[in-house]
């Protein structure tokens, strides 16, 4: 569990009381249907999916000035009631997101539902003329990305995808260092996100009042296969392929988004995953240990490099979750709040001796070798520059989450469609993680064209579903029952 989440759980009562008091003072008005939002206007938001992250996102959005929450949609009645307590009794609440989209007093929606709903609600919201902040990963399957991009382009509305860490000071500093050539040419990137606790492994608490009356189960299922009410599937949806995107979609996405932001890359051409369901076997059908290898081709922004990502939900060892970008002149190692740049440059002279073939030469040959070496490598080519280490710590008040929303709202106000994580960026980051899943479940290398955003060897059936808006037959998902692979 990240510290954000811990703090929220500890502080929910106090925070709820405070927010409730603040928002009671603001009467709920249906204001005119503004087509354009001027820099001085309030942006009125609605959150669709008021679960764990829906609460965090809403709070982060409201830490920006002139933003007002007017409506909330969720499928569990307890969360609608909690939202009114936390954010104000005047809120419009509903189980049907279409009622939110129909409201003229909503300028922008936060889509914070399980992954299988992202594309459907995003497309509907853009068509309804709403600006969209959609949680990561932008889509659940590789074949859903382009429809979202098309809808966004046609809509003229602003869209931001929510992998908020790229708005942190530390990620910006990493980007600046890479662009300045501080580590030379990148050749390898490694990043991991390990955990060792039940909540971290997504076994979230299930409320004792969960029932078909308090939960809109049929709507939750959406285009996923029909099945009887199951509170575990509803409250722990990440554990199931029908609704989530596994460790890749939940966690690799942050690592990849960070790397794409920092390096300006467009994405990998080859993706391969291996893994296992090692520990959390009680009900999930996705692996809890996964390693993926990706080949990024040379572009005008960087040399070719390899990236290796890992999640291990049963890591009882030392956990150190950082991203390490390795170049031929140094390394940048960073997390959300701090960064270490290590600069290390090889001397021009290669050296000789020690564990080397030099001592195996005859004495005469050694002599000749030394003469030639001395002629070729004068003294100044023989010493390396001293290793330099530069540490960067984000300011204590660096609020990446609020800043990510700040970027979204600034673009909404400016009438600009683009954001730091717009749908093109969002899909270029989501596609490799979805490819990780396809590689794992279909036991294949996924070939991807990061420029055209097209899969070169698409799946025949598994993991595919009809594009948003089309009715699912359900039968396309039949191949999705693989639980583990040896
Ligand atoms: N950016 C981040 O750091 C971050 C962190 C956690 C989660 N997330 C993302 O946020 C999303 C939600 O995750 P969560 O942990 O809050 O899940 P959650 O289960 O706590 O909340 C999801 C909520 O969505 C509601 N919901 C489901 N289908 C809906 C629908 N059709 N219409 C309206 N509401 C619906 C459910 O009732 C539930 O309350 C996921 O996409 C996840 O990947 C992002």
The verdict on 207 and 101 lying in the same domain is no
Q: What's the total number of domains in the chain?
A: 2
Q: State yes or no: pLDDT of 113 exceeds 60.
A: yes
**Res. 461 pLDDT band, cuts 50 70 90:** low
In this structure, what token pair is assigned to residue 114? Answer: 């399980």
pLDDT tens digits for range 158-214: 999 999 999 999 999 999 999 999 999 999 999 999 999 999 999 999 999 999 999
How confident is the model at residue 30, as a pLDDT?
30
Q: Is 136 helix (H, G, I), strand (E, B) or coil?
A: coil
Pairing of strands 92-94, 159-162: unpaired
Q: What is the three-class DSSP state of 154?
A: helix
Q: Name the more confident of 236 and 26.
A: 236
What is the C-alpha separation between 238 and 115, in angstroms, rounded?
9
CB 463 within 8 A of CB 223: no
CA-nearest of 306, 288, 220, 217 to 250 is 288
Q: Ligand 1 — pocket residues by CB below 6 A? A: 48-54, 73-76, 79, 97, 112-115, 117, 135-136, 162-164, 219-220, 237, 250
Q: Which of the pair, 437 or 336, is modelled with greater confidence?
A: 437
Distance 53 CA to ligand 1 centre (A): 6
Least confident of 57-61, 108-112, 216-220, 382-386: 382-386
Phi, psi angles (nearest 5°) of residue 170: -65, -40
Query: Which tokens belong to 180?
Result: 């300045």
18-34 as b/e, with b when 16 or more CB fall inside 10 Å? ebeeebeeeebeeeeee
Q: How far away, in angstroms, is 187 Cα from ligand 1 center?
A: 36
Please identify, by atom number, the ligand 1 atom nearest to the C-alpha of residue 250: 43
In terms of pTM, does the model score above 0.95? no
Task: Report the SS3 class of residue 428.
Answer: helix
When pLDDT is cut at 50, 70 and 90, the band that residue 336 belongs to is confident
Nearest of 244, 269, 252, 292 to residue 457 by alpha carbon: 269
Residue located via tokens 């996405």: 253
CA 208 to chain CA mean position, Å: 31
Residues 141 and 219 in one domain: no
- Does residue 72 belong to any structural domain of this protein? yes
What pLDDT score does 464 carry?
A: 46
Average pLDDT over residues 336-362: 95
Output the pLDDT for position 40.
64
Position 59 scores a pLDDT of 98
Is 92 within the bounds of a domain?
yes
- Of the listed ranges 38-42, 45-49, 115-119, 286-290, the least confidently predicted one is 38-42
Give the residue from 230, 257, 252 showing the smallest Cα distance to 242: 230
CA atoms of 392 and 337, how far apart (whole Å) = 9
The pLDDT value recorded for residue 475 is 28
Same domain, 155 and 267: no
What is the model's pLDDT at position 14? 29
Whether 31 and 124 map to the same domain: the answer is yes
In a domain? residue 82:
yes
* The ligand 1 atom nearest the CA atom of 163: 1
Is residue 364 in a domain?
no
Cα of 113 vs centre of ligand 1, distance in Å, is: 4
Domain membership of residue 153 (yes or no) is: yes
Q: For residues 407 and 106, what is the distance between their CA atoms, to the nearest angstrom?
A: 19
Whose C-alpha lies nearest to ligand 1, atom 8? 53
477, pLDDT greater than 70: no
- In this prediction, residue 469 carries a pLDDT of 39
How confident is the model over 308-324, as a mean pLDDT? 95
In a domain, 379, yes or no: no
Q: Are 157 and 184 contained in the same domain?
A: no
Q: What angle do CA 263, 268, 273 make, to 5 degrees?
A: 120
Taking all residues of the chain, what is their mean pLDDT, rounded to a whole number?
88
Ligand 1 atom nearest to 165, measured from its CA? 3
pLDDT confidence tier of residue 41, bands split at 50, 70 and 90:
confident
Q: Can you tell me the distance from the alpha carbon of 81 to that of 27, in angstroms, rounded to the nearest whole number?
A: 18
Strand ranges (E), 60-194: 67-73, 92-94, 108-111, 131-135, 159-162, 186-192
Is the model's pLDDT at 16 over the cut of 90?
Answer: no
pLDDT in tens, 76-87: 999 999 999 999
- The answer to whether residues 159 and 227 belong to one domain is no
In terms of domains, do 230 and 129 share one? Answer: no
Q: What distance in Å separates the CA atoms of residue 424 and residue 131, rounded to the nearest whole number?
A: 16
**Phi/psi at 289 (5° precision):** -130, 125
Q: Check whether residue 215 and residue 336 sit in a common domain.
A: yes
Calculate how far, in angstroms, residue 178's C-alpha sits from the geometric centre of ligand 1. 34
Domain membership flag for residue 59: yes
CB-based contact 335:341 (threshold 8 Å): no
Residues 124 and 244 grouped into a single domain: no
> Do 233 and 151 share a structural domain?
no
CATH number of the structural domain spanning residue 307: 3.30.360.10
Question: Residue 58 has which token pair?
Answer: 């809403």
Residues 225 and 336 in one domain: yes
Give percent above pLDDT 90 in the chain.
84
Query: Are 408 and 462 in a shared domain?
Result: no
Structure tokens at 465: 């579903």
Atom 7 in ligand 1: residue holding the nearest Cα: 53
Residue 167 near residue 400, CB atoms below 8 Å:
yes
Give me the CATH number covering residue 106.
3.40.50.720
d(CA 132, CA 43): 12
233-237, 249-253, 392-396, 478-482, range with the lowest pLDDT: 478-482
Give SS3 for 263: helix
Q: What is the mean pLDDT of residues 318-329?
A: 94
CA of 286 to the centre of ligand 1 (A): 18
**Would you state the pLDDT for residue 4?**
38
Contact (CB, 8 A) for 165 and 420: no
Nearest to 351 by CA among 327, 369, 325, 332: 369
Query: Residue 249 belongs to what domain range?
Result: 170-345+385-398+423-477
Decide if 243 is inside a domain.
yes
Q: How far is the centre of ligand 1, averaged over its atoms, from the C-alpha of 306 (Å)?
A: 32
């Amino acid at each position: 569990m990240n510290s954000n989440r811990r703090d929220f759980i500890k502080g929910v009562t106090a925070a709820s009381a405070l927010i409730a008091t603040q928002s009671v003072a603001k009467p709920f008005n249906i204001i005119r249907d503004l087509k354009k939002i001027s820099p001085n206007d309030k942006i009125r938001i609605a959150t669709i999916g008021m679960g764990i992250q829906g609460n965090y996102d809403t709070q982060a959005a409201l830490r920006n000035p002139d933003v007002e929450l007017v409506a909330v949609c969720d499928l569990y009645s307890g969360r609608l009631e909690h939202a009114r307590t936390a954010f104000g009794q005047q809120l419009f609440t509903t189980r049907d997101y279409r009622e939110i989209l129909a409201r003229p007093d909503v300028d922008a929606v936060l889509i914070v539902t399980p992954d299988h709903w992202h594309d459907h609600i995003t497309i509907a919201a853009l068509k309804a003329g709403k600006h969209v902040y959609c949680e990561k990963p932008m889509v659940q399957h590789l074949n859903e990305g382009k429809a979202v991009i098309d809808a966004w382009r046609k809509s003229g509305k602003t869209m931001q995808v929510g992998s908020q860490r790229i708005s942190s000071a530390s990620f910006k500093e990493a980007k600046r260092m890479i662009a300045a050539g501080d580590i030379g040419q990148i050749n390898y990137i490694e990043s991991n996100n390990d955990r060792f606790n039940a909540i971290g492994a997504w076994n979230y608490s299930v409320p004792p009042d969960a029932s078909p009356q308090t939960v809109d189960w049929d709507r939750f299922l959406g285009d996923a296969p029909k099945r009887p009410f199951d509170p575990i599937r509803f409250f722990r949806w990440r554990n199931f392929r029908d609704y989530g995107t596994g460790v890749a979609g939940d966690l690799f996405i942050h690592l990849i988004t960070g790397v794409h932001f920092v390096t300006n890359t467009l994405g990998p051409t080859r993706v391969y995953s291996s893994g296992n369901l090692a520990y959390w076997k009680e009900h999930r059908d996705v692996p809890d240990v996964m390693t993926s290898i990706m080949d990024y081709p040379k572009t005008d922004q960087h040399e070719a490099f390899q990236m290796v990502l890992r999640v291990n939900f049963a890591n009882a060892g030392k956990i150190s979750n950082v991203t390490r970008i390795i170049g031929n002149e140094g390394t940048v190692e960073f997390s959300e709040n701090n960064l270490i740049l290590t600069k290390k440059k090889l001397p021009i002279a290669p050296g000789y001796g020690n564990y080397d073939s030099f001592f195996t030469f005859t004495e005469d040959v050694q002599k000749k070798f030394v003469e030639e070496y001395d002629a070729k490598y004068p003294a100044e080519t023989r010493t390396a520059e001293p290793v330099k280490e530069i540490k960067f710590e984000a300011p204590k008040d660096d609020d990446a989450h609020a800043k990510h929303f700040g970027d979204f709202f600034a673009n909404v106000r400016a009438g600009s469609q683009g954001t730091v994580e717009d749908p093109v960026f969002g899909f270029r980051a989501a596609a490799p993680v979805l490819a990780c899943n396809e590689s794992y479940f279909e036991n294949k290398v996924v070939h991807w064209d990061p420029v055209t955003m097209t899969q070169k060897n698409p799946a025949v059936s598994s993991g595919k579903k009809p594009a948003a808006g089309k009715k699912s037959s359900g039968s396309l998902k039949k191949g999705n029952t693989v639980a583990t692979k040896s």
